[in-house]
A = this chain, B = another copy of it.
Amino acid sequence: MELLKGACVVGQSGGPTSVINASVLGVVQAAMQSEAITQVLGALNGISGILEDRLIDFGQEDPEELEQLRYTPSSALGSCRYKLADPDVDDTDYRRILEVFRKYNVRYFFYNGGNDSMDTCNKVSAYLTQVGYECRVIGVPKTIDNDLVGTDHCPGYGSAAKFIATTCAELRQDSQVYTTPTVNIVEIMGRHAGWLAGVASLASVVGQGPDLIYLPERDFSMEEFLEDVDATLKAKGFCVVAASEGIHYADGSFINEVEAAAADGFGHVQLGGLGVYLADVVKKRLGCKARGIELSLLQRCAAHIAAQTDIDESYAAGRAAVETAVSGVSGVMIGFERIHSDGEYRCVPVAVDLKAVANAEKKVPTEWINARGNQVTQEFIDYALPLIQGDTEQQTLSSLPRYAKLKKVPATEK
């Protein structure tokens, strides 16, 4: 097969993770080593940066500084939440993308994001094929939510999981300090899937797991919750609860719907305040001390406790994207397949059809949640524990994290 020669563009979209830049580094380093790729460009703020011709030239960066991307949290290229229109309705954006791609002779497009970004990838890929412009489009997944289909898990999830499990272990220690009955309710991200709330259970490996865990995959009952908190308090004198922000009643309404006013660019409801709300209910109904603790953005940026396994896999996904594209494949996302050969954890990159991934959402299997709906099972722990292994080798300066500082030199057409 003849090599498709041209520039590549890599962009990032959606909510960041602690390891999202490891994937960009994987793309950039593999692309720089590839004979096919003539220029390695980055799109600032994802697809918006392509539409606005805000591209940078990775060739101008210092290789040592680039290497720091491996341990730098939060989209170094900037992100966006821009949703492309249906090209049959309005193809303005697509024509502009084609124009910019032609300008720089972009023949490879790597997009690093979650569900919505895979939808963007899929649409761009379909459009370019339709108009006969040869360009290989590959999705590089990232999402702490771990809700993409077609992959064992998503880059970014393991590091968020490690932060959550460690924090829950620490909070359980703190919850036992006083003799006064204390309830600590940890609010964890996850709109529709309980992958993040579920990993609180990993702390049970060191005897520090939450007493109760609530996932959005199961309808929430306030009365059962209060019964379970009360029973735990009576048995132990304290109670640690991990709850997904997305838990809801049987009718689909969120527990703290009042708080859920703002909406982001994709029409997602911005949740928050659930922990404080539940703590308030516990205080009033059970008459004990209760506190809501929202882990908030720390879940997606606490790179100081990233899992080295996750960093390595995120990097590998970026490299695999380039190798897959150069080998002639397009319209796929790089996923992971878990190999169950010798009991040891091992995942290998695989190519998954973007059409199967775009806009689909993977939930926690219901059989991984106990009958009462207040804990996950051993299957969940067995699934997630390998993903948090290994300590990050992040560099520090005066014991503080040192991040990559890119020059971001604007690209020029060759």
> Which of B74, B81, B291, B305 interacts with A176 by CB under 8 Å?
B74
Known: A273-B276, A304-B305. A401 touches B207 (CB 8 A): no
A176 proximity list for chain B (CB < 8 A)? 74, 78
A81 to chain B, nearest CB (A): 7
Q: What is the 8 Å Cβ interface bit string for chain A, positions 245-273, against chain B (1 contact, 0 not)?
A: 00000000000000000000000000011
A209 to chain B, nearest CB (A): 10
Question: Are B402 and A173 in contact (CB-based, < 8 A)?
Answer: no
A305 proximity list for chain B (CB < 8 A)? 304-305
Known: A80-B179, A294-B294. A174 touches B400 (CB 8 A): no
Question: Are B174 and A297 in contact (CB-based, < 8 A)?
Answer: yes
> Which of B167, B272, B390, B401 interacts with A169 by CB under 8 Å?
B401
Q: How many copies does the complex hold?
A: 2
CB contacts under 8 Å to B, within A32-47, are 45
Question: Are A173 and B80 in contact (CB-based, < 8 A)?
Answer: no
Question: Are A403 and B206 in contact (CB-based, < 8 A)?
Answer: yes
A297 proximity list for chain B (CB < 8 A)? 171, 174, 184, 291, 293
Question: Are B174 and A74 in contact (CB-based, < 8 A)?
Answer: yes
Within 8 Å of chain B (Cβ to Cβ): is A65? no
- Once the chains are docked, how many angstroms separate the CA of A165 from the CA of B170? 18
A155 proximity list for chain B (CB < 8 A)? none
A294 proximity list for chain B (CB < 8 A)? 293-294, 296
A338 proximity list for chain B (CB < 8 A)? none
Question: Helix, strand, loop or mixed for chain A's interface?
Answer: mixed
- Chain B residue at smallest Cβ distance from A405: B207
Question: Are A81 and B301 in contact (CB-based, < 8 A)?
Answer: no
Question: Are A301 and B170 in contact (CB-based, < 8 A)?
Answer: yes
Question: Are B304 and A177 in contact (CB-based, < 8 A)?
Answer: no
User: Interface with B: A94-102, A368-376, A391-399, which one?
Assistant: A391-399
Q: Mark A residues whose CB is within 8 Å of B.
A: 16, 45, 48, 72-75, 78-81, 162, 165-167, 169-171, 173-174, 176-179, 184, 202-203, 205-208, 272-273, 276, 291, 293-294, 296-298, 300-305, 307, 385, 388-391, 396-403, 405
Would you give 13 A-B contacts (Cβ < 8 Å), ordered by A? A16-B173, A166-B304, A167-B298, A170-B301, A170-B302, A170-B304, A174-B300, A206-B402, A294-B294, A304-B305, A305-B305, A389-B398, A389-B399
